[in-house]
Structure 1
Amino acid sequence: MIGARLENLRNWLERTGNRERWGLPAIPDGPVNARMLRRTLAQAIAERPGGLLAAKVALKHISVATTEGYAARPGGSQRLFLAEVEEAAAEHHVRLTVEAFHDFQEDRLPAGPGARSLIEAFALVDAELKEAARTDPKVLTDDTHLESLLRKQAQTLHVGAANYCWFRDPAKALCLRLAGTPNASKPLVGMCDSARCPQATHHPCHRPVWTGQAAGITVFLESPRVPVGERKRLLPERERALRVVAEIDAAMCEGSA
Structure 2
Amino acid sequence: MSEVNKHESERNLQLVLEEFRNYQQGILPAGPGARSLTEFFAGIDEKLDPAAASAPKIQSNDRDVLNLLTKRAKVLHLGPANYCWFTDPSRALCLKLAGTPTADRPLVGMCDSARCPQATHHPCHRPVWAEHAERTKTFLGQLGTPRKTERTRLQADHDRALRVVAEIDAASATMHEESS
Fold-level similarity (TM above 0.5): yes
1:144 counterpart (55, 63, 77): 63
1:248 aligned to 2:168?
A: yes
1:216 counterpart (121, 124, 135): 135
Q: Distance in 2 between matches of 1:226 and 1:99?
A: 47
Higher gyration radius (CA): 1
Q: Distance in 1 between matches of 2:35 and 2:85?
A: 12
Give a deviation string over 1:11-54, Cα, whole Å, max 9, x none: xxxxxxxxxxxxxxxxxxxxxxxxxxxxxxxxxxxxxxxxxxxx
Structure 2 match to 1:157: 76
Structure 1, unmatched stretches of 5+, are 1-81
Structure 2 match to 1:238: 158
Q: Distance in 1 between matches of 2:130 and 2:57?
A: 43
Structure 2 match to 1:175: 94
Matched letter for residue 129 of structure 1: L
Q: Distance in 1 between matches of 2:168 and 2:146?
A: 32
1:94 aligned to 2:35?
A: no
Q: How does 1:1-257 map to 2 (within 5 A)?
A: 82-131=1-50, 135=56, 140=60, 142-223=61-142, 228=147, 229-255=149-175, 256-257=177-178
Q: Distance in 2 between matches of 1:127 and 1:241?
A: 34
Root-mean-square deviation (CA, aligned residues, Å) is 1.9
Give a deviation string over 1:151-175, Cα, whole Å, max 9, x none: 0111111111100110111110011
Cα deviation, residue 83, structure 1: 0.7
Choose between structure 1 and 2 for higher RCO, CA contacts under 8 A separated by at least 6 residues.
2
Contact 2:13 2:70 in 1 (8 A): yes
Runs of 4+ in 1 over 6 A off after TM superposition: none
Aligned residue pairs total 173
Contact 1:98 1:147 in 2 (8 A): yes
Structure 2, unmatched stretches of 5+, are none
- TM-score scaled by structure 1? 0.63
Contact 2:121 2:168 in 1 (8 A): yes
